[in-house]
Amino acid sequence: MIVDFPDTNTSKISKALVKIREEGGAVALGRVLTLVIRTSLGHEEEAIEAANDASREHPMRVIVVSTDSETDGARSGRGARLDAQIRVGGDAGASEVVLLKAYGAAASDEEGLVTGLLLPDAPVVVWWPGESPEKASTSSLGRIAQRRITDASNHPNPVESLIRLSETYAPGDTDFAWTRLTLWRAQLAAVLDQPPYEPVTAVEVQGASDSPSTLLLAAWLGHQLKVPVTYGLTQRANGSSGIHSVKLVRESGTIDLTREIPNVATLIQPNQPTHDLALPRRNLRDCLAEELRRLDPDDLYGEVISVGLAELFESTEVGFQSRS
């Protein structure tokens, strides 16, 4: 069910939620958290779809704050205005979705827009699918949240965004560039957990020029293994994105994990048969569901983004090198 509320306020929306629950039987007792999605006008649906899918694992209330600037609002002739929409039932997965579209001056107080709609005594997670604030933890929405999720890959300059995240990190921050590494990290850890248990002496990581995950993987490997890491960000002829390959050099030979085609990686090890492994690029639903499984700070991400990344840049002397 979808109910529209043009030119409204949060008090009316809150009362409407109560009425819808009473009349339709939808309850909020099973909701485990409130997810606040901060996006721009016209870019809401992809994030809502991902949240609806993730809600089947994490029942929650989803509040989408979609705004324009005061200048854009004035240009459109709308002035200060708040339009809302409530989605429950089949249109909201296992969640209830409140979509807030704020125009002009109504968009200036994002915290005020959502405060009256938060579930009582439930954790708050804020997700910026697009560009994020300069410092997420002290932003209007970030300061009310236990977890703050950004996505450096959607920034016009992903590498620059990653560097900013490293400089402004606070416990509770995370980024989907890190979440997309879960399968790669698990596979590499599994390989190193097998004989001959030799130390890694060098690492090489290659990825697409628009892939902040490549830098985080290089930083993680360098920080955990305490070895020199070389990395390159390139754009292949086939336009493949994400991480391309990882090479781990040991005395007995080189371990090579390469993803030449989407979703499938090839693992080559000394004295071992070559294996093709399922290694898909993770979608928004999978990334979001994983991050919602934990509401405490991700200490390993904190180490990698604030310490490992700096170590990577220092060891290579140049923070970013692009090869074409």
* 285-295: pLDDT as tens digits: 999 999 999 99
Residue 237 confidence (pLDDT) above 90: no
* pLDDT for residue 203: 97
Average pLDDT value for the chain: 89
Domain chopping of the chain, boundaries: 2-176, 182-284+317-323
Considering the chain, what percentage of its residues have pLDDT values greater than 70? 89
The per-residue pLDDT for range 140-166, each reduced to its tens digit, is 999 999 999 999 999 999 989 999 999
pLDDT band for position 241 (cuts 50, 70, 90) = confident
Residue 299 confidence (pLDDT) above 50: yes
Residue 19 confidence (pLDDT) above 90: no
Residue 18 confidence (pLDDT) above 90: no
User: What is the pairing mode between strands 229-234 and 243-250?
Assistant: unpaired
pLDDT band for position 79 (cuts 50, 70, 90) = confident
Please identify, in words, the CATH class of the domain defined by 2-176. alpha beta
* pLDDT for residue 324: 31
3-state SS of 150-203 is ECHHHCCCHHHHHHHHHHHCCCCEEEHHHHCCHHHHHHHHHHHCCCCCCCCCEE
* pLDDT for residue 152: 96
Dihedral angle over CA of 214, 216, 219, 225, nearest 10: -90
Residue 186 confidence (pLDDT) above 50: yes
* pLDDT for residue 111: 95
Radius of gyration, CA atoms only, the chain:
22
pLDDT band for position 22 (cuts 50, 70, 90) = confident
**What does the alpha-carbon distance between residue 54 and residue 179 come to, in Å, rounded to a whole number?**
15
Q: Is 91 exposed, middle or buried (0-12, 13-18, 19+ CB in 10 A)?
A: middle
Length reported for the chain: 324
Residue 322 confidence (pLDDT) above 80: no
Residue 12 confidence (pLDDT) above 90: yes
* pLDDT for residue 39: 95
Stretch 49-77: mean pLDDT:
78
**What does the alpha-carbon distance between residue 297 and residue 139 come to, in Å, rounded to a whole number?**
18
